[in-house]
Amino acid sequence: MPERLSFEDQISKNKMKSTLLLGIIIIIFIAIGYLIANILDPSLFFIVMILSIIISLLYTWFGYYYSDKIALTSVGAKPANPLQHRTLMHSVENMSLASGLSMPRVYVMDSVEINAFASGRNPKNAVICVTSGALQKLNKQELEGVIAHEMAHIANFDIRFMTLATVLIGMISIAAEMLLRSFWFANTDNRDNRAGIIIIIVSIVVAILAPIFAQLVAFAISRRREYTADATGAKFTRYPLGLASALRKIKGEHVPRDEMRKFNRETAPLFISDPFKRSFTNLFATHPPVDERIRRLEAM
């Protein structure tokens, strides 16, 4: 008989791995700053760090603060009707009680595809949006499993965590651009010795590859947060098979291509599954393989 997976163990491991991956992004950022300091002047290290942080924070702040409004507007979501969407409202209320969180604002998006997302900068300003297809095709246990998954994202502050990752990636991109431009102002004496030439070559490679690698790490963080939300959601419902069954229906449905136009590519990572059904390799995917998610839930 296969060994059962623990809710708490899965949650703890995935949170730890997410934090470690975030640490890798920070190390990349510091490494770029160090290379710039070596090419130009060591005293510029902290100036580069501070400028990158300020520019990236300003760029990301608006998206973070208004994340719920941006996401809802982009998909044309409407507030749920307490009478028309009674089952949905009851499911959200139940999961709100199970999680100990405030009742989020509930919205419905017009789409035949089974999907849902949560957004908001904190639990008090959170929203949950469910597609009309999910309400039509999922039974009570499956719908509660999906809602629990989204409540888990809220409970785990995943919007805040992924926003931090976005800020860091922005910082790396800015610092990498500074690194490339710093060659125009580099001390020419550094180019006359072997060590200086090596630093320049390494710097060029890092400046080109660092933003790409950082984005791949961010994708890995996103996949870890999905696993964590699955496990946390299963903890809320105490019935992981509900979400597993919903994921199986999501995997098996065939959505018309025209229907996918209702989704926004920028907000696609927020959804419980990729609304565009893209078959990326795991490295470039924002969501883990559905089969692996189902396997883990069924083993809990």
Neighbours of 105 (CB within 10 A): 16
Nearest to 35 by CA among 162, 159, 195, 206: 206
Three-state SS string across 220-288, please?
HHHHHHHHHHHHHHHHHHCCHHHHHHHHHHHHHCCCCHHHHHHCCCCCHHHECCCCCCCCCCHHHCCCC
Cβ burial of 3 (10 Å; 0-12, 13-18, 19+) is exposed
User: Which amino acid is located at 20 in the chain?
Assistant: L
d(Cα 220, Cα 5) in Å, to the nearest integer?
21
**46 Rama class: left (phi>0) / alpha (psi -120 to 50) / beta:** alpha
Q: Tokens at residue 95, please?
A: 């999961």
State the pairing for strand pair 105-109/116-119: unpaired
Neighbours of 81 (CB within 10 A): 12
d(Cα 200, Cα 221) in Å, to the nearest integer?
31
d(Cα 245, Cα 25) in Å, to the nearest integer?
35
d(Cα 181, Cα 239) in Å, to the nearest integer?
55
- Count of helices and strands (H, E) across the chain: 10, 4
Distance of CA 72 to the CA centre of its chain: 17
Tell me the catalytic residues: 150
